[in-house]
Amino acid sequence: MNSHARRQTAASERTVAIVGGGPAGLMAAEVLLARGLRVELYDAMPSVGRKFLLAGVGGMNITHSEPFAPFAARYGARQAQVEPWLTAFDGQALRDWVHGLGIETFVGSSGRVFPTQMKAAPLLRAWLARLREAGLQIHVRHRWLGWDGAGALRFATPDGEQSVSADAVLLGLGGGSWAKLGSDGAWVATLAERGVGIVPLVPANCGFEAGWSEHFQDKFAGTPLKAVVASVTGLDGATISRRGEFVVSGYGVEGSLVYALSAPLRDAIAATGSATLMLDLSPDKSAERVLAEVAHPRGSRSLSSHLQSRVGIHGVKAGLLRECLSKEQFADPAQLASAIKALPVRLTAPRPLDEAISSAGGVRFDALDARLMLSALPGVFCAGEMLDWEAPTGGYLLTACFASGRVAAEGIAAWLAEQGAASR
C-alpha cells in the first residue's frame, strides 16, 4: 500500500460528528468528506436546513456583490474576526460554489445575489444529493444534550437517549432566533457549564417598539415608508446612515432599513433605555429647499395638500410627522421643515429574540483558537451563527456562516492530522 493510500485509510477511520444541519454544518461536512473523513451529521429537526429554507421563501439572497472592503466592513465590531473567513471564501467563491451545484445566480438591482429560481429548495436538494453521494450520514430528530461522563455526545431521539463517540466534533447550532426551526439557544447553558465564554444572545436584524398612538396604528400599521434616509448615533458617537425603506408596524418599525441599523439601536436601548431613529423624509431635497417649499404661501389649500404638492410629503410620511410633532410644531414652517429633514423617532425596545431574523452574541472569540476550536474543549469546534458576530441582511449572514463552516472544517482536518502524527 503506497503512502497516499495509507493516509486515505487512516483518514477514513476517523469520524467527525457535526451537530446542526444548517449552512455552516453542511459546508463543514462537504470539506471534511473531501478530506476522506467519515462524517456523521445530527440535527434536532425532522429535516436539515429548515431556517435556510425559510430564509429563501421571499427570494433566496445568497450573498452580495459589493467589493471586498465594504463587504467585510458589514461585520462591524467583529470585522477583524470574520474577515479571515471571507478571505478564504468570499461572496464570489460562494457564487462559484452555487454554480457548481448546477444553480445559476444573478445580481439584483441592489447588488444582492440570488439563485435564478429565487428559491432555496432546489439549491438545498442538489447540495444534499451531492453530500449523500460523498458519504454523508444524516441523523434527524437527534437533539443534542451535551456530553456523558465518558466524553461521548448525548442525543435525545425518538428511540430514547443515545451516546455517540467521535474523534472530533463540530457544533453548528445556530443562534437564538426562530426556535421552532431548531435555533433555540439551548446550547448556551451546556457550553457555559464546561467553561466556555459566552456573550448573552440578543436580537439582531429585528424590529423595534415605538409606542404609536392608537389612531396612528389603526391607520398606518403595515404601511411601507419608502425613499427615506435613516440615521442613528451609536454609543461611540459615530453616526450611521442608510437609505432605503422600512415598514410601520402596529408595535413600531421593522424592515430592511431598520434591520441595517439594529445593532446600534439595540445597544443604545440597552445602555440608556431608548434610542433615536432620525429620519430624513425628503432625502433628495436640501434643508434649504424644503424650508423654502414649506414656507411658500399656500393660499386656500390645506397644509396637507401644500406638503404633498410642494415637498411630496403625504400618506404615512405626513402621518408620521403628525404623530411625532405637536400641533404647534406642525403649524410652524421652520419647525416642520426641520422635522421633514430630521424627524426623531423614539424607540423603546427591540422585539423579542425569537422574532428576530438572527441573533448577536454567542461563543466568545477569545474562547476559540484561530481554527475555531474551543480552548476549554480540545477537539470541539464551533461555526456559524452560534459565534459572537452579527451582520445585516443582504447575504452577509449566509456568506459568513458558509465561510466559517469551511474554516472550522479545515481546522478539524488539521487538528486530526496533528493527533494522528502525535500518536505514531
Name the domain boundary from 292, 319, 350.
Answer: 350
**52 and 187 together in one domain:** yes
**401 and 262 together in one domain:** no
Name the domain boundary from 350, 383, 398.
Answer: 350
**309 and 265 together in one domain:** yes
189, 35 contact by CB (below 8 A): no
Q: Give the pLDDT of residue 58.
A: 67
Residue 374 pairs in a beta bridge with: 368
**Based on the structure, what is the number of domains in the chain?**
2
Summarised one tens digit per residue, pLDDT across range 390-423 is 998 889 999 999 999 999 999 999 999 998 777 6
Q: Give the pLDDT of residue 8.
A: 45
| Band (12; pLDDT cuts 50, 70, 90) | low
**137 and 254 together in one domain:** no
Summarised one tens digit per residue, pLDDT across range 87-129 is 999 999 999 999 999 999 999 988 999 999 888 999 999 999 9
Note the Cα 327 to chain centre separation in Å. 41
**23 and 45 together in one domain:** yes
Domain that holds residue 266: 208-350
Burial pattern 349-377, b for ≥16 Cβ within 10 A else e, equals: bbbebeebbbbbbbbebebbeeebbbeeb
Which CATH number is 38's domain given? 3.50.50.60
Give the closest residue to 68 by CA, choosing from 53, 54, 85.
85
Mean per-residue pLDDT for 140-158?
A: 96
**170 and 258 together in one domain:** no
**196 and 222 together in one domain:** no
Distance CA 350, CA 271 (A): 13
**161 and 212 together in one domain:** no
**151 and 215 together in one domain:** no
Question: Which residue intervals of 58-213 are DSSP H helices?
Answer: 68-73, 79-88, 91-100, 121-133, 187-193
Q: Give the pLDDT of residue 2.
A: 41
**Residue 3 pLDDT exceeds 50:** no
Name the domain boundary from 350, 368, 393.
Answer: 350
**221 and 269 together in one domain:** yes
Summarised one tens digit per residue, pLDDT across range 297-310 is 888 888 889 889 88
User: Which residues have CB under 8 Å from 359's CB, separation 6+?
Assistant: 175, 176, 177, 183, 185, 201, 202, 203, 204, 353, 385, 390
**341 and 234 together in one domain:** yes
**16 and 132 together in one domain:** yes
**Residue 11 pLDDT exceeds 60:** no
